[in-house]
Chains A and B, each alone.
Chain A
Amino acid sequence: MFEGWDAVVLARAQFAFTMSFHIIFPAFSIGLASYLAVLEALWLATGREVYINLFNYWLKIFAVAFGMGVVSGIVMSYQFGTNWSAFSDKVGPVIGPLMAYEVLTAFFLEAGFLGVMLFGLQRVGPRLHFLATLMVAIGTLISAFWILSANSWMQTPTGHAVNADGQFIAADWLKVIFNPSFPYRLVHMVLAAYLTTALVVGAVGAYHLLRDRHLAGPRVMFSMAMWMATLVAPIQIIAGDQHGLNTLEHQPVKIMAMEGHFQSHKDGAPLFLFGLPNQSAGRVDYAIEVPKLGSLILKHSPDAPMAGLDTVPRENWPPVAITFWSFRIMVGMGMLMLALGLFSLLMRVQGKLYDSRLLHMFALAMAPAGFIAVLAGWITTEVGRQPFTVYGLLRTVDSASPLAAPAVASSLIAFIIVYFAVFTAGVIYLLRLMAAPPHPGEEGPSHDVPIRTAGITPAAGAVTEGAAR
């Protein structure tokens, strides 16, 4: 009995660990693929060399990030079977087809055109090459569509029935795909990917502007990234608010955990700015709260009553402290992004966008903010969904494979060791690529022959490494 419980916890840890690593790369490559398509379109439209330089510069970074996303994604797709076989048997008929459509419509599109995008410019010419870039960018968005549809269905299941074998089956595919939380989740995630990428691009631009504020490439990328932050950060906050209202309607218990509402509030719930949720005592310790603000945000009315976790059986409580804190981290990052966008707008109208060292340092410091927000947001929504894999219908403990704990433990250890070794190296190589500024005549990986140097001939590679030291 205890052993079975142990294997479930280990399988959850493994899923959380591998997923946390994985989600970083799609978040980055969704945004970067679109950015590359924009850069190439600008180059084709204007003929300005700076755009193709930037394209080739970010293409190398994209190749490394995409490779890591692919390999960590293959792990995810098999983990459903290895660690969550009961879930796969019961839910496979519904979410299996959604994921199969992701493979058929997105993964093949990305992978099929990636080679041409990376190495084919000389072979197919600029127009067909742009088509390949566009296909890769569209592929990343289609991928987001299907995987978020599958995830959203697990959060807000609709359009299904249960058959004699205890399997979920689709009664109405349109209702399954376009389930109630899906549009909100898709918009929130795609915007998050765009912001995450913009913050990295902006930070790289800022880093090089801090060294030399006259470099053409860094000026262009910094300006583009700051426009993105200025325009999209406020939109994302609105989208997040709408997503929150949707969650309140369909997953109220998750909202209770996010807000730390152990108690029901008949005439207006407070907003906890700080506090330590105490799950066993069912209260928030050391709470600093603003009265009625919680109701105002969630119900847009200060006196609206809010039910708390005291209305929910304890065995259905999610882990409150994790959900509460990850939510606050995400929101905090969002506020910082808003501040960066507004600050850059102020500098821009004053004509000091490329001269304000304070802005550049702020932008540089914000490089990881998107990743942190994506991870925190993912933790909020996934931990807040517990103890269910299919919300309200299938419990996490009933989803796991019939495996012995040592099997799951040893695979978890193997994943930790391998991921840290491989992805540490990957991040070092990415930082090394970013540490050198894009230069005029930036070589793309677009030779006559597919040389996977991504433009780094042995000589240029030595230069890059020299610059990193």
Chain B
Amino acid sequence: MIPIDLAIVWAFIIAFAVFVYVVMDGFDLGLGILFPLFPEKRDRDVIMNSVAPVWDGNETWLVLGGGGLMAAFPLAYAVLMPALYTPMIAMLLGLVFRGVAFEFRWRTQRVRNRWDIAFFGGSLLATLAQGIALGAILQGIHVSGRHYAGGWWDWLTPFSILTGAALVIGYALLGATWLVMKTEGALRDRAYHLSWILLLAMLGAIGAVSIATPFLHVQYTQRWFAWPNILLTAPVPVAVAAITVLLLRSLAKKYDYQPFFLTLALFALSYAGLGISMYPYIVPQSITIWQAAAPENSQIFMLFGVAVLIPLILGYTAWAYWVFRGKVKPESGYH
């Protein structure tokens, strides 16, 4: 039997869970970020209804990402969470606000506006915190022994603020293209318009992060530009350019579905870029995936569950999306 490197298998599983989280909760966090741009109550109702049946499932991937990290790479979890203490707490509090807003804003007439603000503020805060956390991980974390050894403000740097802003733009673009797909009439036109602006902003953000990242560590530079690595890494920016062209075209032609899925492809490429930069570290420059890996029997025990359950989960999640397919119509809700 060929020996399987469980640490690599699990790195892919965790990366997959986090990616699914990013794209699925990404668009519904993006809707929250766009909320102030749609001041009409009816528009807001439609926007919320477009994700109301599925947001719980989207957010469960975040729990899997965190729980899976603790189970498969406990050392990385134990080092990263204290290092990202403030952004993590901010993200959780943001998610509390926006999560309850889904239920609460329908329960009140008088203070509905407050829950709209909570939905927007919570979504923005959670997104910003996630982006900042990403930047903080990329720039490196002080580790001594099996502990985080930095201060509780290390996460805050110009680079992490850049990645925070970039993620806000990215999620907003996902949200806007989701609306293009799920709505009609004036609301969809508005979403098209926003998609244009946000796409340009996102390309700027991808560029800025891509330029800044190699300056953080010499390893990142070598990974991307040294020969022969460049043969493997060059397709990523080339694909980004190709997807961008397709995305611009689909927006120009006012397609319904393409903008959203092409934006997802942009996210996938950016995510792959991050993976290329970080590998084989799970805590950059400090802890590799093998050093952080849980004992083999923990990883094997969970592998059985993942192999059977993830396809099942993807299956019934797809079914739930299928049940609520099509455009959200504000009027037909009151039959």
Residue numbers of A with Cβ under 8 A of B are 63-64, 66-68, 70-75, 77-78, 80-82, 85-86, 88-94, 96-97, 99-105, 107-116, 118-120, 123-124, 163, 165, 167, 169-170, 173, 401-404, 406-407, 411, 414-415, 418-419, 422, 425-426, 429, 432-433, 447-454, 456-458, 461-462, 465
Q: Which residue of B lies closest to A168 (CB)?
A: B295
Interface residue from A92, A93, A111, A414 paired with B56 (Cβ < 8 Å): A111
Which B residues are in CB contact (< 8 Å) with A74? 59, 62-63, 92, 95-96, 99
Complex interface residues of chain B between 62 and 105 (CB less than 8 A to chain A) = 62-64, 66-72, 74-75, 77-82, 85-86, 88-89, 92-93, 95-97, 99-100, 102-104
Bound Cα distance from A465 to B108, whole angstroms: 7
Which A residues are in CB contact (< 8 Å) with B48? 452
CB–CB B109/A81 < 8 A: no
Which B residues are in CB contact (< 8 Å) with A66? 56
Judged by a CB distance under 8 angstroms, whether B228 is at the interface is no
Q: Which residue of B lies closest to A163 (CB)?
A: B295
Shortest beta-carbon distance from A129 to chain B in Å: 10
Which A residues are in CB contact (< 8 Å) with B152? 403-404, 406-407
Total CB contacts across the A-B interface at under 8 A: 278
CB–CB A72/B96 < 8 A: yes
Interface residue from B75, B107, B295, B320 paired with A433 (Cβ < 8 Å): B107
With A111-B60, A120-B53, A448-B335 already in contact, the answer to whether A167 and B74 are too (CB < 8 A) is: yes
Q: Which residue of A lies closest to B110 (CB)?
A: A465
Judged by a CB distance under 8 angstroms, whether B212 is at the interface is no
CB–CB B80/A81 < 8 A: yes
CB–CB A85/B49 < 8 A: no
With A93-B295, A450-B52 already in contact, the answer to whether A88 and B89 are too (CB < 8 A) is: no
With A115-B54, A411-B85 already in contact, the answer to whether A85 and B77 are too (CB < 8 A) is: yes
Shortest beta-carbon distance from A189 to chain B in Å: 20
CB–CB B60/A108 < 8 A: yes
Q: Which residue of A lies closest to B73 (CB)?
A: A92
The listed residue with most B CB atoms (<10 A of its CB), out of A169, A432, A450, A454, is: A450
Q: Which residue of A lies closest to B82 (CB)?
A: A401
With A100-B305, A448-B332 already in contact, the answer to whether A402 and B57 are too (CB < 8 A) is: no
Shortest beta-carbon distance from B10 to chain A in Å: 11
CB–CB B97/A86 < 8 A: no
CB–CB B107/A429 < 8 A: yes
Among B196-204, B244-252, B266-274, B323-331, the stretch in contact with A: B323-331
With A67-B103, A92-B71, A402-B147 already in contact, the answer to whether A104 and B64 are too (CB < 8 A) is: yes
**B: number of interface residues (CB 8 Å):** 78
CB–CB B294/A93 < 8 A: yes
Judged by a CB distance under 8 angstroms, whether B148 is at the interface is yes
Q: Which residue of A lies closest to B91 (CB)?
A: A78
Shortest beta-carbon distance from B129 to chain A in Å: 11
CB–CB A115/B93 < 8 A: no
New A-B contacts (17) at CB < 8 Å, excluding given A74-B92, A96-B70: A71-B99, A81-B77, A81-B88, A85-B148, A93-B74, A96-B67, A108-B60, A108-B309, A108-B316, A115-B53, A115-B54, A422-B97, A447-B334, A450-B50, A450-B52, A451-B333, A465-B109
CB–CB A70/B59 < 8 A: yes
Interface residue from B57, B82, B323 paired with A403 (Cβ < 8 Å): B82
Which A residues are in CB contact (< 8 Å) with B110? 465
Among B159-167, B172-180, B185-193, B296-304, the stretch in contact with A: B296-304
Judged by a CB distance under 8 angstroms, whether B313 is at the interface is yes
Interface residue from B86, B88, B323 paired with A123 (Cβ < 8 Å): B323
Q: Which residue of A lies closest to B295 (CB)?
A: A169
Interface residue from B75, B99, B106 paired with A89 (Cβ < 8 Å): B75
Q: Which residue of B lies closest to A419 (CB)?
A: B96
Which B residues are in CB contact (< 8 Å) with A448? 332-333, 335
With A71-B96, A104-B310 already in contact, the answer to whether A450 and B67 are too (CB < 8 A) is: no
CB–CB B63/A103 < 8 A: yes
Which B residues are in CB contact (< 8 Å) with A452? 48-49, 52, 102-103, 106
Which A residues are in CB contact (< 8 Å) with B302? 97, 100-101
Which A residues are in CB contact (< 8 Å) with B254? none
Bound Cα distance from A426 to B70, whole angstroms: 31
Shortest beta-carbon distance from B181 to chain A in Å: 15
7 closest residue pairs by CB, A with B: A115-B53, A92-B74, A81-B81, A96-B71, A89-B78, A451-B333, A111-B56
Judged by a CB distance under 8 angstroms, whether B222 is at the interface is no
CB–CB A115/B56 < 8 A: yes
Bound Cα distance from A223 to B119, whole angstroms: 40
With A93-B294, A108-B60, A402-B147 already in contact, the answer to whether A119 and B70 are too (CB < 8 A) is: no
With A78-B88, A78-B92, A105-B309 already in contact, the answer to whether A115 and B60 are too (CB < 8 A) is: no
Judged by a CB distance under 8 angstroms, whether B317 is at the interface is yes
Q: Which residue of B lies closest to A450 (CB)?
A: B53
Q: Which residue of B lies closest to A72 (CB)?
A: B96
CB–CB B108/A429 < 8 A: yes
Show 13 residue pairs from A and B whose CB-CB distance is below 8 angstroms, ordered by the A residue.
Answer: A88-B78, A89-B78, A91-B74, A96-B74, A99-B67, A104-B309, A115-B56, A167-B74, A447-B334, A449-B332, A451-B45, A453-B333, A461-B106
Bound Cα distance from A112 to B61, whole angstroms: 11
With A92-B294, A114-B56 already in contact, the answer to whether A82 and B89 are too (CB < 8 A) is: yes
Interface residue from B79, B93, B297, B330 paired with A414 (Cβ < 8 Å): B93
Q: Which residue of A lies closest to B86 (CB)?
A: A407
Bound Cα distance from A170 to B295, whole angstroms: 9
With A78-B66, A401-B81 already in contact, the answer to whether A124 and B323 are too (CB < 8 A) is: yes
CB–CB B63/A453 < 8 A: no
Shortest beta-carbon distance from B178 to chain A in Å: 14
Bound Cα distance from A36 to B328, whole angstroms: 27
Bound Cα distance from A287 to B333, whole angstroms: 64
Interface residue from B53, B75, B93 paired with A119 (Cβ < 8 Å): B53
Shortest beta-carbon distance from A134 to chain B in Å: 13
With A113-B316, A414-B89 already in contact, the answer to whether A422 and B100 are too (CB < 8 A) is: yes
With A103-B60, A451-B333 already in contact, the answer to whether A170 and B301 are too (CB < 8 A) is: yes
CB–CB B106/A453 < 8 A: yes
Bound Cα distance from A449 to B79, whole angstroms: 45
Q: Which residue of B lies closest to A110 (CB)?
A: B56
CB–CB B81/A78 < 8 A: yes
CB–CB B82/A67 < 8 A: no
With A104-B309, A112-B316, A461-B109 already in contact, the answer to whether A96 and B78 are too (CB < 8 A) is: no
CB–CB B70/A75 < 8 A: no
Bound Cα distance from A165 to B63, whole angstroms: 26
Shortest beta-carbon distance from B41 to chain A in Å: 9
Bound Cα distance from A70 to B330, whole angstroms: 27
Bound Cα distance from A13 to B103, whole angstroms: 29
CB–CB A103/B103 < 8 A: no
Interface residue from A93, A104, A415, A454 paired with B306 (Cβ < 8 Å): A104
CB–CB B85/A82 < 8 A: yes
CB–CB A415/B63 < 8 A: no
